[in-house]
Amino acid sequence: MTARNDLHEMTISELGQLFPIIIKDYSDKWSDLYKEEAKLITDSFSQTEIVKIDHIGSTAIPRIKAKPTIDILLQVTEQISINKLKDTFKLLEYQINARPENPPPHLTFVKGYTKYGFKGQAYHVHIRYSGDWDEIRFRDYLIKNKAIAKEYESLKLELAEKYRNDREAYTDSKTEWIEKINKLTRK
Protein backbone atom coordinates (compact mmCIF):
# COMPACT_ATOMS: atom_id res chain seq x y z
CA MET A 1 0.00 0.00 0.00
CA THR A 2 1.24 3.48 -0.82
CA ALA A 3 1.89 5.60 2.27
CA ARG A 4 -0.73 8.33 2.49
CA ASN A 5 -0.96 11.18 4.94
CA ASP A 6 -4.75 11.31 5.11
CA LEU A 7 -7.49 8.68 5.08
CA HIS A 8 -9.40 10.80 2.55
CA GLU A 9 -6.52 10.31 0.08
CA MET A 10 -6.78 6.51 0.22
CA THR A 11 -8.59 4.42 -2.36
CA ILE A 12 -11.54 2.20 -1.42
CA SER A 13 -9.23 -0.80 -1.85
CA GLU A 14 -6.60 0.65 0.50
CA LEU A 15 -9.26 1.48 3.09
CA GLY A 16 -10.63 -2.07 2.82
CA GLN A 17 -7.21 -3.53 3.58
CA LEU A 18 -6.66 -1.15 6.49
CA PHE A 19 -10.16 -1.58 7.96
CA PRO A 20 -11.38 -5.13 7.25
CA ILE A 21 -14.91 -6.24 8.14
CA ILE A 22 -14.64 -8.06 11.46
CA ILE A 23 -17.74 -9.38 13.21
CA LYS A 24 -17.53 -9.96 16.97
CA ASP A 25 -19.75 -11.58 19.56
CA TYR A 26 -22.27 -9.29 21.23
CA SER A 27 -20.87 -7.35 24.19
CA ASP A 28 -22.75 -5.65 27.01
CA LYS A 29 -20.01 -3.00 26.97
CA TRP A 30 -21.34 -1.62 23.66
CA SER A 31 -24.27 -0.04 25.50
CA ASP A 32 -21.91 1.53 28.06
CA LEU A 33 -19.61 2.84 25.32
CA TYR A 34 -22.63 4.42 23.62
CA LYS A 35 -23.78 6.07 26.87
CA GLU A 36 -20.32 7.51 27.55
CA GLU A 37 -19.94 8.88 24.03
CA ALA A 38 -23.52 10.20 23.96
CA LYS A 39 -22.82 12.15 27.15
CA LEU A 40 -19.59 13.55 25.69
CA ILE A 41 -21.50 14.66 22.59
CA THR A 42 -24.56 16.09 24.31
CA ASP A 43 -22.39 17.95 26.84
CA SER A 44 -20.72 19.68 23.87
CA PHE A 45 -23.94 21.29 22.62
CA SER A 46 -26.73 23.30 24.17
CA GLN A 47 -30.07 21.63 24.90
CA THR A 48 -31.65 23.85 22.26
CA GLU A 49 -29.40 22.39 19.53
CA ILE A 50 -30.09 18.69 20.11
CA VAL A 51 -33.47 17.04 19.65
CA LYS A 52 -32.52 13.42 20.42
CA ILE A 53 -29.59 11.02 20.47
CA ASP A 54 -29.91 7.27 19.85
CA HIS A 55 -27.75 4.16 19.76
CA ILE A 56 -28.42 2.57 16.36
CA GLY A 57 -26.84 -0.15 14.26
CA SER A 58 -26.09 -3.73 15.19
CA THR A 59 -24.28 -2.94 18.43
CA ALA A 60 -27.63 -1.61 19.73
CA ILE A 61 -29.33 -4.98 19.20
CA PRO A 62 -28.76 -7.35 22.13
CA ARG A 63 -27.45 -10.85 21.52
CA ILE A 64 -26.33 -10.49 17.89
CA LYS A 65 -22.83 -10.43 16.53
CA ALA A 66 -21.74 -7.17 14.94
CA LYS A 67 -18.89 -5.04 13.73
CA PRO A 68 -17.81 -3.43 17.03
CA THR A 69 -18.48 0.09 15.75
CA ILE A 70 -20.86 2.17 17.86
CA ASP A 71 -23.34 3.93 15.57
CA ILE A 72 -25.08 7.00 16.94
CA LEU A 73 -27.93 9.00 15.42
CA LEU A 74 -27.86 12.63 16.57
CA GLN A 75 -30.97 14.59 15.65
CA VAL A 76 -30.40 18.33 15.72
CA THR A 77 -32.56 21.43 15.42
CA GLU A 78 -32.65 23.38 12.19
CA GLN A 79 -31.08 26.34 14.00
CA ILE A 80 -27.76 24.56 14.59
CA SER A 81 -24.79 25.84 12.65
CA ILE A 82 -23.20 23.28 10.33
CA ASN A 83 -19.82 24.89 11.07
CA LYS A 84 -20.41 24.46 14.80
CA LEU A 85 -21.14 20.78 14.24
CA LYS A 86 -17.93 20.37 12.25
CA ASP A 87 -15.82 22.35 14.75
CA THR A 88 -17.27 20.59 17.79
CA PHE A 89 -16.78 17.10 16.40
CA LYS A 90 -13.23 17.99 15.40
CA LEU A 91 -12.57 18.98 19.04
CA LEU A 92 -14.02 15.61 20.07
CA GLU A 93 -11.40 13.95 17.80
CA TYR A 94 -13.83 12.98 15.04
CA GLN A 95 -13.17 13.21 11.33
CA ILE A 96 -15.88 14.17 8.88
CA ASN A 97 -16.82 11.38 6.52
CA ALA A 98 -17.71 13.53 3.53
CA ARG A 99 -20.65 12.34 1.48
CA PRO A 100 -21.43 14.98 -1.15
CA GLU A 101 -24.61 13.12 -2.14
CA ASN A 102 -26.02 13.78 1.35
CA PRO A 103 -26.11 17.53 1.97
CA PRO A 104 -25.89 18.87 5.54
CA PRO A 105 -27.13 18.18 8.06
CA HIS A 106 -26.82 14.62 6.75
CA LEU A 107 -23.26 14.54 7.98
CA THR A 108 -21.34 11.58 9.33
CA PHE A 109 -18.44 11.90 11.72
CA VAL A 110 -16.11 8.99 12.53
CA LYS A 111 -13.66 8.31 15.34
CA GLY A 112 -11.18 5.50 15.85
CA TYR A 113 -9.75 5.44 12.32
CA THR A 114 -6.13 6.32 11.56
CA LYS A 115 -3.84 5.91 8.57
CA TYR A 116 -2.37 2.94 10.47
CA GLY A 117 -5.69 1.18 11.13
CA PHE A 118 -8.18 1.23 13.99
CA LYS A 119 -7.15 3.05 17.16
CA GLY A 120 -9.35 2.66 20.20
CA GLN A 121 -13.10 2.36 19.87
CA ALA A 122 -14.66 3.13 16.49
CA TYR A 123 -17.71 5.41 16.42
CA HIS A 124 -19.93 6.70 13.61
CA VAL A 125 -22.16 9.67 14.41
CA HIS A 126 -24.90 10.32 11.87
CA ILE A 127 -26.30 13.87 11.99
CA ARG A 128 -29.88 14.53 10.89
CA TYR A 129 -32.65 17.01 11.48
CA SER A 130 -35.47 15.72 13.65
CA GLY A 131 -37.57 13.08 11.91
CA ASP A 132 -38.95 9.56 11.73
CA TRP A 133 -35.79 7.68 10.79
CA ASP A 134 -35.60 4.12 9.47
CA GLU A 135 -32.56 3.30 11.60
CA ILE A 136 -34.52 3.66 14.85
CA ARG A 137 -37.50 1.63 13.65
CA PHE A 138 -35.12 -1.04 12.24
CA ARG A 139 -33.29 -1.31 15.58
CA ASP A 140 -36.54 -1.53 17.54
CA TYR A 141 -37.99 -4.16 15.18
CA LEU A 142 -34.93 -6.40 15.51
CA ILE A 143 -34.89 -6.02 19.28
CA LYS A 144 -38.54 -7.19 19.42
CA ASN A 145 -38.08 -9.95 16.81
CA LYS A 146 -35.19 -12.12 17.94
CA ALA A 147 -35.51 -14.63 15.07
CA ILE A 148 -35.28 -11.80 12.50
CA ALA A 149 -32.28 -10.38 14.40
CA LYS A 150 -30.54 -13.77 14.16
CA GLU A 151 -31.34 -13.89 10.43
CA TYR A 152 -29.67 -10.49 10.09
CA GLU A 153 -26.68 -11.75 12.07
CA SER A 154 -26.32 -14.72 9.69
CA LEU A 155 -26.45 -12.42 6.67
CA LYS A 156 -23.77 -10.18 8.18
CA LEU A 157 -21.50 -13.15 8.93
CA GLU A 158 -21.88 -14.48 5.39
CA LEU A 159 -21.19 -11.08 3.84
CA ALA A 160 -18.25 -10.36 6.16
CA GLU A 161 -16.59 -13.55 4.99
CA LYS A 162 -17.29 -12.76 1.34
CA TYR A 163 -16.36 -9.06 1.49
CA ARG A 164 -13.81 -8.92 4.31
CA ASN A 165 -11.85 -6.11 2.64
CA ASP A 166 -14.63 -4.39 0.72
CA ARG A 167 -16.75 -2.26 3.05
CA GLU A 168 -18.78 -0.81 0.19
CA ALA A 169 -19.79 -4.24 -1.16
CA TYR A 170 -20.52 -5.48 2.38
CA THR A 171 -22.83 -2.52 3.04
CA ASP A 172 -24.43 -2.58 -0.41
CA SER A 173 -25.15 -6.31 -0.12
CA LYS A 174 -27.17 -5.78 3.08
CA THR A 175 -29.29 -2.98 1.59
CA GLU A 176 -32.05 -5.09 0.02
CA TRP A 177 -32.59 -7.10 3.22
CA ILE A 178 -32.58 -3.96 5.39
CA GLU A 179 -35.02 -2.21 3.07
CA LYS A 180 -37.37 -5.21 3.28
CA ILE A 181 -37.46 -4.77 7.07
CA ASN A 182 -37.80 -0.99 6.77
CA LYS A 183 -40.90 -1.44 4.58
CA LEU A 184 -42.43 -3.62 7.30
CA THR A 185 -41.68 -1.04 9.99
CA ARG A 186 -43.24 1.82 8.00
CA LYS A 187 -46.67 0.13 7.98
pLDDT tens figures, 55-112 = 999 999 999 999 999 999 999 999 899 999 999 999 999 999 877 676 667 899 999 9
pTM of the model: 0.92
H helices present in the chain, as ranges: 12-18, 29-42, 82-91, 134-144, 146-162, 167-185
The string of pLDDT tens digits covering residues 128-140 is: 999 999 999 999 9
| Options 3.30.460.10, 3.40.225.10, 3.90.400.10, 1.20.1250.20; CATH of 7-133 | 3.30.460.10
Q: Where are the domains of the chain?
A: 7-133
CB 72 within 8 A of CB 33: no
Q: What gap in Å lies between CA 178 and CA 147, rounded to an integer?
A: 15
**Distance between CA 15 and CA 165 in Å, rounded?**
8
Peptide bond into 68 cis (omega under 30): no
Q: Per-residue pLDDT tens for 142-153? A: 999 999 999 999
